Amino acid sequence: MVNIYHENDGNLSFLKDKTIAMIGYGNQGRAQALNLRDSGLNVIIGNRSDRFKQMAINDGFSTFSIEEAVNKSDITFLLIPDEIMNVVFETQIRPNLKSQSALVFASGYNIGFKLIKHPKDVDILLLAPRMIGVGVRENYLNKNGFFSFIAIEKDFSGNALEILLALAKAIGTLKKGAIELTFKQEAELDLFNEQGFGPAFGRVLLSAIYTLIDAGYPPEAVLVEMYMSNEMSYTYKKMADVGLIKQVDFHSQTSQYGAMSRGIKFRKLPVKPVMESILKNIQNGEFTKEWEKKMTKLKFKMIKFFATKQKINKLEKLVRKNLNLKIYDIYEEESPTKEELETLKDIEHEIKLFEQYYI
């Protein structure tokens, strides 16, 4: 049985007299810092001097350089983007980390895939909200709480679980529940949702859109029907609120019969084997190895260039204009330079496949 922790499992006295440094004041950093402070804890911010630092000052926090903040703290939260975390860790965090302190991550990625080799004399903790930053703040203020995944990689102090649960209580997650995993499991679940579920859902959505457009329905009506009305997002919310099956009660009898009787036609869609191979590729570290390669950043730029040329982007722009909705400037991705194309020569065939897929 997995361990799931609730409000009574956290005891804030384990954080008494501790200084907590938030490294990063972005989506998660700001929300978690405000929640911890409102729970009565002593929080300081470590950030480069720019608009994020200014935001922290405006919110009334004492701010320091990253090095200084780490040096002053008993508990350090690393709330910066995962892609640059290992470099920042080696240059600015590790040399300043106090022995017997605690290091807290909000994502299992860098520890789970061993991109950061953690020091042996600190507690290594994971407190990963299943919630965007604004939601972390809102659900703290309205006392609803939010789910999190937690993990302990290293229990140097002997009190790692007590410290982690106290922090979890203070950011507001125990009101809903914290599920204990390993760092690697957390990272794998996250990556699978992004790679196994996201694109499959996108493919199904686009297939539905073009089935209707090819049949002659006005694009404005099709996009409103399929996602722009927000009806689907309410359905998704209801799945979380009352259950996957119970939410069916919110739909008409005609809708229920239609969905249930026609659902059987999709039963042989070969989606699961593809998902299983994507999951395997995540678990064996192949994805991380690929993403960490310098060349992959260039490949990513190329894929993004093709993806932004998809016909749905043009169609959506037109529909948004006709519906008087704000148009966001995501449609023009810079074309690759000659030198970039030359660098990608060895994977020319693969790049061609992306071009054919998206355009």
Give me the residues that bind ligand NDP (CB under 6 A), please: 24-29, 47-48, 50, 52, 79-82, 84, 88, 106-107, 128-129, 132-133
**Which CB atom, from 291 or from 354, has the smaller least distance to ligand NDP?**
291
The CB-nearest residue to ligand NDP is 26
Give the whole-angstrom CA distance, residue 359 versus residue 349: 15
Tell the smallest beta-carbon distance from residue 287 to ligand NDP (Å). Answer: 15
Classify 136 as helix, strand or coil.
helix
Tell the smallest beta-carbon distance from residue 108 to ligand NDP (Å). Answer: 9
To 5 degrees, how large is the angle CA 277–CA 147–CA 28? 90
- Residues forming beta bridges with residue 296, ordered by sequence position: none
**Which CB atom, from 67 or from 355, has the smaller least distance to ligand NDP?**
67
Tell the smallest beta-carbon distance from residue 107 to ligand NDP (Å). Answer: 3
Closest CA to 32 of 66, 75, 83, 72: 75
Tell the smallest beta-carbon distance from residue 291 to ligand NDP (Å). Answer: 13
**Which CB atom, from 53 or from 299, has the smaller least distance to ligand NDP?**
53
Tell the smallest beta-carbon distance from residue 132 to ligand NDP (Å). Answer: 4
Cβ atoms within 10 Å, residue 237: 12
Are the beta carbons of 123 and 102 closer than 8 angstroms?
yes
Exposure letters 140-172 (e unless 16+ CB within 10 A, then b): beeeebbbbbbbbbbebbeebbbbbbbbbbbbb
Tell the smallest beta-carbon distance from residue 32 to ligand NDP (Å). Answer: 9
Give the whole-angstrom CA distance, residue 80 versus residue 87: 11
**Which CB atom, from 80 or from 124, has the smaller least distance to ligand NDP?**
80
Tell the smallest beta-carbon distance from residue 114 to ligand NDP (Å). Answer: 16
- Tokens 């690759």 — which residue? 336
- Tokens 């932004």 — which residue? 308
Classify 97 as helix, strand or coil.
coil
Tell the smallest beta-carbon distance from residue 20 to ligand NDP (Å). Answer: 16
Cβ atoms within 10 Å, residue 346: 9
**Which run of H or E residues covers position 71?**
helix 66-72
**Which CB atom, from 24 or from 112, has the smaller least distance to ligand NDP?**
24
Strands 147-154, 177-180: parallel, antiparallel or unpaired by DSSP? parallel
* Gyration radius of the chain's alpha carbons: 23
Q: Which two tokens stand for residue 301?
A: 């730029």
